[in-house]
């Protein structure tokens, strides 16, 4: 499963190294890279577990609400597999999925989707315009720092629409990115070791009574 995950990462989120051959050295290099990716991913996800491990100790600071995630029960985690929206509706699930995308070098997809969700809730015309330009600069324009994978026609249409920004400026692009995540990254997340562990019910062990 882990090997399949690594190959999928190469296929969807980054070009494969064409110079890599099939010799023992290259094979060893790929295995080392795979282990590094998986280790990094697990360490990122463990952050969310640590933040929910001590509910009796409230965190201080203005950002405490954003940094605290309640670990779901196995039953709650299993609901995430029923629909992609179920996963996105869970704060813990969304955070874990975001970390997973970061391990696949596709974090820009969920960041763009979240930016669009925030954008659609904006009422002020002035804020709508400034947010539209920022989203375009961050995600849409050529060589943007978090450029998403959408077609040229959609990019051109967005560039025209943000001149007089409305809440529907990014609807087409958001649907495209949502579909990309739902059909590619989401199934891999459900197959991941981290998600499978969340779905496992704790085993109740009984100690033998002394006779």
What tens digit of pLDDT does each residue of 41-84 get?
A: 566 566 544 544 433 333 444 444 445 568 899 999 999 999 99
175: pLDDT strictly greater than 60: yes
Q: What integer pLDDT is reported at residue 208 of this predicted model?
A: 56
Half-sphere exposure of 58 (CA within 13 A, CB side): 4
**Model confidence at 166, in pLDDT bands (50, 70, 90)?**
very high
First-last CA distance in the chain: 46
**14/101 Cα distance (integer angstroms):** 12
**Distance between CA 193 and CA 191 in Å, rounded?**
7
pLDDT of residue 202: 75
- Name the token pair of 73: 């029960």
Is 101:107 a contact under the CB 8 Å cutoff?
yes
Mean pLDDT of 168-188: 96
Residue 183 pLDDT > 70, yes or no? yes
Closest CA to 71 of 195, 205, 204: 195
SS3 32: helix
pLDDT-derived band at 204 (thresholds 50, 70, 90) equals low
Structural domains present in the chain? 72-197 (1.10.167.10)
The Cα 116–Cα 158 span in angstroms is 13
Task: Give residues with Cβ within 8 angstroms of 37, minimum separation 6.
Answer: 6, 9, 103
Mean pLDDT, rounded, of the chain: 78
Give 6-39 pLDDT, tens digit per residue.
Answer: 334 444 454 334 344 455 666 676 666 656 665 6
Tokens, residue 122 = 């904006």
pLDDT at 111: 97
Q: Which of the two residues, 53 and 140, has the higher pLDDT score?
A: 140
Dist CA 135 CA 147 (whole Å): 10
Q: Rounded mean pLDDT of 115-139?
A: 95
- pLDDT single digits (tens) 102-126: 988 999 999 999 999 999 999 999 9
Q: pTM of the full predicted structure?
A: 0.69
Q: Quick check: helix, strand or coil at residue 143?
A: coil
- The pLDDT of residue 70: 82
Number of Cβ atoms within 10 Å of the Cβ of 41: 21
Other CB atoms within 10 A of residue 143 CB: 5
Predicted pLDDT at 162:
92
């Amino acid at each position: 499963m882990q090997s399949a995950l690594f190959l999928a990462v190469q296929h969807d989120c980054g070009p494969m190294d064409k110079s890599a051959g099939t010799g023992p050295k290259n094979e060893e290099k790929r295995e080392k890279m795979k282990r590094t990716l998986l280790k990094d991913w697990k360490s990122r996800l463990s952050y969310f577990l640590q933040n929910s491990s001590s509910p009796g100790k409230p965190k201080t600071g203005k950002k405490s609400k954003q940094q605290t995630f309640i670990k779901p029960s196995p039953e709650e985690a299993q609901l995430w597999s029923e629909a992609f929206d179920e996963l996105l509706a869970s704060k813990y699930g969304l955070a874990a999925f975001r970390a997973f995308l970061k391990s696949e070098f596709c974090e820009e997809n969920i960041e763009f989707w979240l930016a669009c969700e925030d954008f659609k809730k904006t009422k002020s015309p002035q804020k709508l315009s400034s947010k539209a330009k920022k989203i375009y600069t961050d995600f849409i324009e050529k060589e943007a720092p978090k450029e998403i994978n959408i077609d040229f026609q959609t990019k051109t249409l967005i560039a025209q629409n943000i001149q007089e920004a409305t809440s529907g400026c990014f609807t087409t692009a958001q649907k495209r990115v949502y579909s990309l995540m739902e059909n590619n990254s989401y199934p891999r997340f459900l197959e991941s070791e981290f998600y499978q562990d969340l779905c496992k019910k704790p085993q109740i062990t009984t100690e033998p009574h002394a006779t």
